[in-house]
Structure formats: C-alpha cells, structure tokens
Amino acid sequence: MAKPVILTVDDDPNVLSAVARDLRRRYAEQYRIVRADSGAAALEATRELRQRGEAVALFLADQRMPGMSGVEFLAQALPLFPQARRALLTAYADTEAAIQAINSAAVHYYLLKPWDPPEEQLYPVLDDLLEEWQASHSPIFEGIRLLGHRWSPEAHALKDFLARNHVPYLYFDLETDPQAHELLEQYGQPAPTLPLVRLVDGRWLVAPTVAELADQAGLLRQAAQTHYDLAIVGGGPAGLAAAVYGASEGLRTVLIEREAPGGQAGTSSRIENYLGFPSGLSGGDLARRAVAQARRFGVEILSPVEVIGMRIDGPYRFLQLNDGSEISTFAVVVAVGLSYRKLDAPGVEQLTGAGVYYGASLTEALSCQAQPVFIVGAGNSAGQAAIYLAEYAERVIMLVRGDSLGAKMSQYLVDRIEASPHIEVRLNSTVHAVHGSDHVEAVTVRAPDGSEERCPAAALFIFTGAMPCTEWLTDIVHLDRQGFIPTGPQVFEDGRRPKGWDVDREPFLLESSVPGVFVVGDARAGSVKRVASAVGEGSIAVQFVHQHLARLR
C-alpha cells in the first residue's frame, strides 16, 4: 500500500525546502512528503490525493501566504481529510490568529518560526500528532466484527466496552447495514441469538458477556503475581497517574479497573482545559496515552476486573477480586471514582442501553444523526457531551435542575453552549418520564411551573450527581455519610483514633483511616472534581506510598 502523506505548504521557496528536508529526515520511511508552494496548489493536491484514495496523515501549512492563508487552506482541506492532523507554521506576530484557528478551523497545533533545532522544536510536536492519527487510522481492518440490533442493550454494552478499551472493531446494524446480512451468511447457521461476534481468527461468539469477550480479545484479567508493592484500584486519570509514577520509581505495580482505563474521563468527547493541550483532547486519547505510558514502565493492568473486598493482615493488604482470587500488596491507592446516579423516572430502567445512556456513550453519537436528543445534568461532562452531540443531532436539549448552567460547569463550556445554535438549555427542568416500546421515542419534560411537555427524542444521556464506588470498603475504611473517604487531617477530625489506625503517627495527606491505604481522585472526601487535580493527586500519592513502605522495612 502507498505510504500515507504529509503535505506541507509555504510560499517561500527557502522555507518550503527547509521544512521538506526536515520532514524527510525524520519521516521518509513511513510517510510520503508532498510539497506545495501556495494554498491553491495545496488544495488541488489534496483533492487529487482524495480522488486517488490515498491517506493524508498531516497538513503543515504556513499561515501568512498571499491569496489563501494557512488557516483558510486548512479549513477547506478539513472536509476532504477530516481525520488528518492540522498544524500551522506561523511567525510570532501571527500567534493570535493561530490560537483563534484552533476553534475556527479545528487546527490541532501551531509552531513558531524558526523551528531549529527540529529535534526540540518540531519533531516532538509532529510525533505526537502523527501518533494520534495512527491511533484513529485503519487502512485495512483486522479486528473484531460485531453484529447486532441498534437498540440492543447487550450490543451497546459490547460496543462501549470495546471502544473504551481501544480494541479495534466494526459494528454492523442488522436493520440498516447491508453488510450485516453478509456477515450473518458467513456464520452459516440458523439465525443465532444476537449480538454475534466474529473474532480475528474467524471464530464466533454468540451473545457473549463482556467478560467472555474480554478474554477472547486478549485483555489481561488475571494477575501474573500474587504480591505487589503497590496495587491501584481504579483506572481513571488519578489511578493511571499513580500507576505511572509508582512503576517509574521502581515499585511493582498492578492497576485493577472494573470497566475500562480512563474512567468517566475516558468517555469525555473533549477535554479542553487540560494543561499542555491547547486544542484539547478526547478522554479516549488521554486514556490511551496514559495506558501506553504505564505499560512502558511495566505496570500490570487488569481489565475488566472488579475488586469486591479488602482485608488487612499485618503489613499486607489483600484485595479480593470478583473471580475469587486475591492479590496481596503493601500499599493500596483507591482511585475508584464515581458512578452516575440512576435517574428515577418511569421508562428509564426499561430503556437503559436502548436509547437511555449513562455518560456520553460516544459510540451512539452517529445513531443520533439529524434527530433530537436530551441531556440531563449541568457539570463539565454534560457540557462536553452537549457540544459533541450537537455535531450529529438535529437538536440537543439540556435539562438543568438548577437555575444556572454555570454553577457547576466551567465558563468556557458555558460560552460555547450559549453560542451553539443547536443546543437548547432548559433551566429548572426535569425528566418526568421516558417513552418507547423497545427504544426511546419521546421524553416528558416537567417545566418550572409544573406543566409537562412530551417531546420526541432519539436518546437520553444522563449525567446526574454521581456516587463514589466505595461499597466494597464499608466496615474496613472510614466513609462519610455520602460514601466518600476522608483522608489526612480529616481522619482525626473528631480527635479520636479511628478503628484500624494501628501506627504511632498522623495520617499522611492522602491516607485513609487504614495505614497504607491512600485515596485519590473523585472518591476522596473534599476532592476537586477535575481531571488535572485527579492526575496531581495520583502522582503525589506515590510519595506517601514510599514513606509508608520505608516504615515497614
């Protein structure tokens, strides 16, 4: 197959030559470098590449060009190769235009001239952009094929699981996709119970559970060892950060995640206020990068595996897993995060997975094309989902129980929601009922004055107040009334030594009422519910783990 293309455009011959030279030096083995000396020439070359069926991985365009600026070229190239990464080369005086282009033309990054030395100023940025493109580009699909009905909760659970664990798959809808019937014919037997899964090696699974599919997809679900220095429960940003720092500092580290690495943040369509990513990144991208980094340092990641209990025996903390096995460790970092509260309204439970979804469920966005959808919630996750779904749905209606959208949501999201013509916000409004036989067809909304309105809907996405996933720690670690875990000074807040505190010292900052059991992220009492703070807590906790281990020696 032809190499994917990196297309660079600049009207200055000397600059164009220098850029092409540096690109060839680094990327010629994997990519074909194409040059253009104007925006119009670059656009023509892009159209020819599209017609020939070639792939473009990266556009690198100079901003200040006569006739067509770099931003204008990238905006016109976007619909031709929407998955390609887009970067601007700009002078310092044009940085304001470059920053604005991140929103107006979906530019991923801008680079300042001059970029010497390229090893420091050019290649790290382009390496990152090309890695992102490779992660989403599949020229020849060699993965799992999944056949099911659009409104099947079982098919939705498998799709969501595969997507969040970054397992390549193709989904075929039996009702709308002609290729689905071809896949069914390949099965060669009477119509089975759906969903139906064809594995890479040609074997078939009929209506598998998530655990069965995980085993066949090659995910690690059994620990390689019986004892570790550090065990982390929960694979969200906080847990992944603790895993990276723990393993990089020499600790034998295992991370146990009950669903998929990334946690709730992993389902976010776009995180735009995370430091160092001016164009934002999806929760899936963040999870993928963090998992790769953790594995590089030797972290053992078990997923999907659930911790159902813990027992203490001297310096050892034993984690009981849902397959009946145990793992012993000297220290535990609890990073279990939160789960969304169930919405108590008629029809919700019956239609969960068939149009009612908790969290963003990005796998279902395309099925909402040109149809109205509802979102319940007013936090950042709800705001990110609204902006993402507005790219597909005819209309996104946000139902906010309170009287302000900005009470719990970052201002940048509020501004973008208010500016979107496809998003409607209804304050002081709630879901009274959900209607449909086998899938969501309508939602009854209760207005502030008590009146009710039945509205057509293709889906309902729920982001209501979340509960900490700490039931397995009841009677072992001190929990507050809401199930969150007090740490540090909060442990001795009432002046009494809590049950289980058997060492002659004060708790470390992120330590729970049991020595050696640390808590980070959203499950910690008083935590800031933001990705950056979770990552910070996860990294800081490892320093206290070291201090705890030093006292055991």
Residue 183 lies in a domain: yes
Asked if residue 100 and residue 23 are part of one domain, the reply reads yes
Q: Are residues 363 and 459 in the same domain?
A: yes
Does 382 fall in a domain?
Answer: yes
Q: The pTM is what?
A: 0.78
Q: Are the C-beta atoms of residues 32 and 2 closer than 8 Å to each other?
A: yes
Of 483, 491, 464, nearest to 336 (Cα)? 483
> Both 176 and 325 in a single domain?
no
Amino acid 329 reads T
Split into its structural domains, the chain has a count of 4
Tell me: do 449 and 485 sit in the same domain: no
Q: Which domain range does residue 124 map to?
A: 5-136
Structure-token match 């297309």, residue found? 7
Of 216, 247, 267, the residue at which a domain comes to its end is 216
Please tell me whether residues 33 and 12 are part of one structural domain.
yes
Same domain, 432 and 537: no
Same domain, residue pair 47 and 120? yes
Whether residue 221 is contained in a domain is answered as no
On whether residue 222 sits in a domain, the answer given is no
Q: What is the pLDDT along the chain (553 residues), one digit of tens a residue?
A: 578 999 999 999 999 999 999 999 999 999 999 999 999 999 999 999 998 888 999 999 998 899 999 999 999 999 999 999 999 998 876 778 778 877 767 889 888 888 989 999 899 999 999 998 988 776 656 689 999 998 899 999 999 899 888 888 889 988 888 888 888 888 877 767 889 999 988 899 999 999 999 999 889 999 999 999 999 999 999 999 999 999 999 999 999 999 999 988 888 878 888 888 887 888 888 999 999 999 999 999 999 999 999 999 999 999 999 999 999 999 999 999 998 889 999 999 999 999 999 876 667 787 888 899 999 999 898 999 999 899 899 999 999 999 999 888 999 999 999 999 999 999 999 999 999 999 999 999 999 999 999 999 999 999 987 789 999 999 999 999 999 999 999 998 766 788 778 898 999 999 999 999 999 999 999 999 889 999 999 999 999 999 999 998 7
**Among residues 216, 243, 272, which one ends one of the domains?**
216
Last residue of a domain, one of 187, 216, 245: 216
**Do residues 147 and 194 touch, judged by C-beta distance below 8 A?**
yes
Instruction: Count the residues in the chain.
Output: 553
Q: Are residues 21 and 123 in the same domain?
A: yes
Same domain, 473 and 417: no
> Is residue 334 located within the same domain as residue 478?
yes
In the sheet with 5-9, reading across from the earlier edge strand, the strands are 32-36, 5-9, 56-62, 85-90, 109-112
Structural element, H or E, at residue 17: helix 13-27
Condensed to tens digits (0 to 9), the pLDDT of residues 289-319 reads: 999 999 999 999 999 999 999 999 999 999 9
Q: Is there a domain that residue 54 lies in?
A: yes
The CATH number for 17's domain is: 3.40.50.2300
Residue 537 lies in a domain: yes
3-state DSSP of 288-313: HHHHHHHHHCCCEEECCCCEEEEEEE
pLDDT at 513: 95
Contact between 144 and 167 (Cβ < 8 Å): yes
Instruction: Tell me, yes or no, whether 244 and 306 share the same domain.
Output: yes
**Does 206 fall in a domain?**
yes
Q: Measured between alpha carbons, how far is 126 from 254 in angstroms, rounded to an integer?
A: 32
